[in-house]
Structure formats: structure tokens, C-alpha cells
Structure 1
């Protein structure tokens, strides 16, 4: 099975498992232990994305209590950090996979690491799932359903295109025509020593 086929399958497994309860407070029950490391990471990554997708919906409620909204914003910030951490774990797995590849003299670097492509792939799986929900609605107008079907068709084409692009990138790493160089995401806003608002309040 190709990597993208496995990833897409695991992402949808995570999404479907979440929607059994559809509860942002539910703790993850990862069916893959760490002996199946990449499967474990992909499932956890998508679970974080899925919960955050629904947090983003909830916080946009125009009637939301401001105190609750602030709490959700903090939660979303924490989720963003966890998402970034998961991307870095996935990149570490890729680095290990290609550690012994002989890099060609004219090898090129890619604009993004494979795990950040996987991050977009995970979000795409959520877009497809939720757009399909809109298409399947029985309480929406025919115009709404038709518009959503058009968008769903585009998302499915994007799934095909991204699958090809990711597989080609991994093949380039495997044959040494591209090499990985990972920059750890140096986020500043959650760091008390880097965010001016946070370190000013510590004085």
C-alpha cells in the first residue's frame, strides 16, 4: 500500500471514530500503539486536527459567552502547538526512513518537509468529510447541495493531485534526487521568553 493510501485510510478512520461521539472533550483512543509508529502518529495527528476543526466551529457561534470564547481560544492555541509537535514527530520518522539514502550531488531541497505536506493532506480529509455531509443534508436547498457538490468534486481532485505529489516527493527522497532538511517550528507566541506580552507580565 502506498504511503498516501495508508495515511488517507487512517485519517478517515480517525474522523469516523471521532464522529461516533462528536465530542471535543473525548479523549483519544488511538488504535495503533507506538510499535506501529507512523500509524500511531498519523492517527493522533488527524485526531488533533479533527477536534480543532470542531473547536473552530464552536468559537464562531455569535451567541457564545465571551469567557467561554477566551477559554476556547486558549484551547485552540494549545492544539496548534500539539499539531506542530506532531508534524515534527512525523518528520523525524521520515528522516529516519531516508537516513541511509545516498544523496545525489545535484540533489535539490523541497519548499516544505514531507510532514507539512501530510499536515495539509490531513486537513483535506476533513474538508472532504464535512463537504460530503453538506451534500448529504436533507434540510438544505437544492442550490446549496449543488454548490457543495461542485466543491466536493474539486476537493476529491485535490486529493488525487496531492496523493501523486506526495508520492513523487517521497520517491525523490528515496532515490536521492531530493534531500530532507527540517527546520523546527520556532513558534514564539506560546513561549514566555519570546512573547513580549508574556515576558512583560513576568516583571
Structure 2
């Protein structure tokens, strides 16, 4: 099942990242270029680094200039994340390019890669919520609440994994079809964001 492999790679990435716990650490992808595992590893590494960027920018004592620096870095990371999702969808488009959908085939509300994107974020939530269940400086009520949240996240991971596998199976057997709309993030494009193109004048 694809979801099982996704979850394995995501867990590996998060473990690898936290060996260094350094936002600036270069991703050393252990998988062959062009493989699905390679795409998944890079995708989750971006997500993991960005998770920690989001922590940094929420420091209540952060200086405005430093906050803006983090905001721009997060924007750049978000663009990289979106690009990786599109690469993953391209992988599936190529994989299923010879499947002829049935006349009754339906389109899904999201593409496989965007569902996998949510699975990557869930892996991060699970890792960090688990950390919160082992903190020594919180009371038992807080620990219990965090354990309950962790249980919900684990169930959500199970449900989303099943949904992804079922979606890919439906695409493979022709009962659903892929149609990918490339993200058009106008605020990152110097030709489409009026603040950016007017600044050139």
C-alpha cells in the first residue's frame, strides 16, 4: 500500500531531521532521484523544517525585522512544498497514464499528492504531540489531554491512509480519474502580484 510506504518515509525523515534539529541542515536524501521515496523524503523534510520555522516566528519577544525575515522564509518554503506536491502528482499521472477511466468515472475532491501532503503534516503532529505526552513539567490532567489528542491524531492518520489507498485503487481501476490543477500562487509571482510589479516602476 502506498500510504504505508508514505508513513514509513515520513517517520524516517522526522527522525533524521531531529538528529540535528537544525532548520538550516541540508536535506541528504537517501533515495534514488526520480523515485517516489525520493519525492516523499524531500517533501517531508521541507514540511519538518517549516514546522520549526513556524515555531520560531511565534516567539512573543521576536523583533519585527526578525519576524519578517521568518515570514519571507516561510513563504519561500511554502512554494517549495507546493512544487513538491506537484512533482508527486506528476509521478502518479505518469504511473496511471495508460488507465482508461470508465464512462461513469468520477473526479476526487483533491489529488493524491495533496492528500499525501496532509499525511506528511499528520506525521509531524503525531511526533510532536507524542513529545508533549512525555514532558515532565506538566500536570497529569494536561498529560491526559495530550494523550487523548495523540489518540485522535493516530486515528486520523489511519483513516487518511485508508482513504489515500482507496483513491489510488479507484484511479488504477478506472472508477476515478486524476485531474490536476497546478497551483497559481499569485503573491509569489513578480508578474502577478501588483505590489511586486508596481515596485519596479
TM-score normalised according to structure 1 size = 0.97
Is 2:182 the counterpart of 1:150? Answer: no
Q: 1:116 matched to which residue of 2?
A: 114
Secondary structure of the 2:183 match is coil
Query: What is the distance in 2 between the residues matched to 1:84 and 1:156?
Result: 25
Q: Distance in 2 between matches of 1:103 and 1:33?
A: 31
What is the CA-CA distance between 1:10 and the residue it aligns to?
A: 0.2
Q: Which runs of 4+ in 1 moved over 6 A?
A: none
Structure-2 residue corresponding to 1:8: 7
For the residues of structure 2 that align with 1:15 and 1:29, how far apart are their CA atoms?
Answer: 13
Partner residue of 2:124?
A: 126
The total of aligned residue pairs comes to: 201
What stretches of structure 2 of length at least 5 have no aligned partner? none
1:170 match: 168
Q: For each residue in 1:18-47, what CA deviation from the matched residue of structure 2 results, as whole angstroms up to 9, or x when unmatched?
A: 101111011111111215x10000000000
Pairwise CA RMSD of aligned residues?
Answer: 0.8
Which position in structure 2 is the counterpart of 1:58?
Answer: 56
Runs of at least 5 residues in structure 1 that lack an aligned partner in the other structure: none
Tell me which residue corresponds to 1:23. Answer: 22
Q: Distance in 1 between matches of 2:165 and 2:24?
A: 35
In the alignment, is residue 87 of structure 1 matched against residue 63 of structure 2? no
1:200 to 185, 188, 198: 198
- CA offsets, 1:126-180, max 9 Å, x none? 0000000000111221111111001000001101100111111001000000000
Shift of 1:58: 0.5
How high is the TM-score relative to the length of structure 2? 0.98
The separation in 1 between residues aligned to 2:26 and 2:173, in whole angstroms, is 40
Distance in structure 1 (CA, Å) of the matches to 2:15 and 2:66: 27
Which of 125, 136, 141 is the equivalent residue of 2:134?
136
Q: Does 1:45 align with 2:35?
A: no
Alpha-carbon separation, structure 2, partners of 1:6 and 1:90: 14
Q: What SS class does the counterpart of residue 183 from structure 1 fall into? A: coil
Q: What secondary structure does 1:189 align onto?
A: helix
For residues 34 and 199 of structure 1, what CA distance do their matches in structure 2 show? 36
- For 2:45 and 2:166, the matched residues in 1 are separated by 26
Distance 1:164 1:39 in 2: 19
